[in-house]
Amino acid sequence: MATNVWQLKAQQAIKPCQKEPAFIRTLGYDPLWTGLSTSERTAIGISLVAFDKQPGQTAPNAQSIKASVYQHPSWKTAGYLSTITLDVWGNVYTIPAPLISMLYNKTEKLNTIYKIDANTGEMNEWVSLPFAGKPGSTNPYGLLGINYDCTDHLMVASTVAGSDRYNEKGVIHLLNTNTKKITDTLNNIDAMGLGFAIDEQQQKRLYFGKTRTGDIYSIVVKRGGKLQKASLRKELSLDGYGPRGDDKARKIKFEGNQLVITGTAFNYNLQASSEKPETVYTFVWMPQQKKWGLIDYR
């Protein structure tokens, strides 16, 4: 009977703990009608976008009109940025991502995680992770993904620095957010999308999307930020799905028992974000078959 209960609860989201940054209210904005963005076409770095409040709506949607865009001076200093994650105190973390060229991003900073203080709104370097090899002409990237774990206050970060066409040298790092120390690593894996959830045995797993295929893998995360290497398993693949058929997982998140993956093309070359169309895939866990089933993509 217990096994059936586990199966029904398999692959469940972890209750979110992220707190809104206090600086949003200090600046006079309504947190419900703002959003942090790294994809504003006219802005380098990270921006706080405020939307016009619409009658009858409690939060902005895809059709909402932008009222203003705010940038703290420090938010431009790291060049172009990509993934954003928040912690339980409202601090904001983000990583660099060169866009079109390396003009605004320093190669030696591509493995650096940046932190925006929840109270002051100022961005500074948080931690610089080791390089397996320096980014170059065939692979200009360093960090590709980060995510915050609400249960043990860990940060996961994936880097592909040093990988090339023939050699996969990427590393997935787990860090203690209090000490900034690396607690464990998964080596020789190029990954981008990252997410945490609870599996069918009620164990916490780290889910990650590979950048060379559409495969999604997971691995058990033990207390103290240790990875149970023997538990590594393939969950599913995006190969053959969607309008392109070769998407890689850029974002991974869980909504209840649904796994939501944002897929996009990734070929280790620099492109404008507008040239990277995205597709959102929704999978549901099927306990009888013990596998994921695609229920929608858009």
Cβ-based neighbours of 121, under 8 Å, separated by 6 or more? 21, 23, 26, 27, 72
Structure-derived torsion over alpha carbons of residues 125, 129, 135, 140, reported in degrees to the nearest 10: -60
18 and 263 in contact (C-beta within 8 Å)? no
Q: What 8-state DSSP symbol labels residue 130? A: P
Domain ranges of the chain: 2-54+63-241
Average pLDDT score over the chain: 92
211 and 228 in contact (C-beta within 8 Å)? no
Q: How many angstroms separate the CA atoms of 238 and 248, rounded? A: 7
Q: How many angstroms separate the CA atoms of 100 and 274, rounded? A: 11
Cβ-based neighbours of 224, under 8 Å, separated by 6 or more? 152, 183
Half-sphere exposure of 194 (CA within 13 A, CB side): 26
Tokens describing residue 298: 């858009």
DSSP H helix total and E strand total for the chain? 2, 20
Per-residue pLDDT of the chain (298 residues; tens, 9 = 90+): 333 333 445 578 899 999 999 999 999 999 999 999 999 988 999 999 999 998 888 889 888 999 999 999 999 999 999 999 999 999 999 999 998 888 999 999 999 999 999 999 999 999 999 999 888 888 999 999 999 999 999 999 999 999 998 899 999 999 999 999 999 999 999 999 999 999 988 999 999 999 999 999 999 999 999 999 999 999 999 999 999 999 999 999 999 889 999 999 999 988 766 567 899 999 998 888 888 999 999 9
Q: What 8-state DSSP symbol labels residue 14? A: P
If one counts every other C-beta atom within 10 angstroms of the C-beta of residue 257, the result is 16
85 and 68 in contact (C-beta within 8 Å)? no
pTM: 0.94
Cβ-based neighbours of 108, under 8 Å, separated by 6 or more? none
Q: Which fold has domain 2-54+63-241?
A: Neuraminidase (2.120.10)
| CA nearest to 120, candidates 84, 81, 154, 75 | 75
Q: What 8-state DSSP symbol labels residue 56? A: T
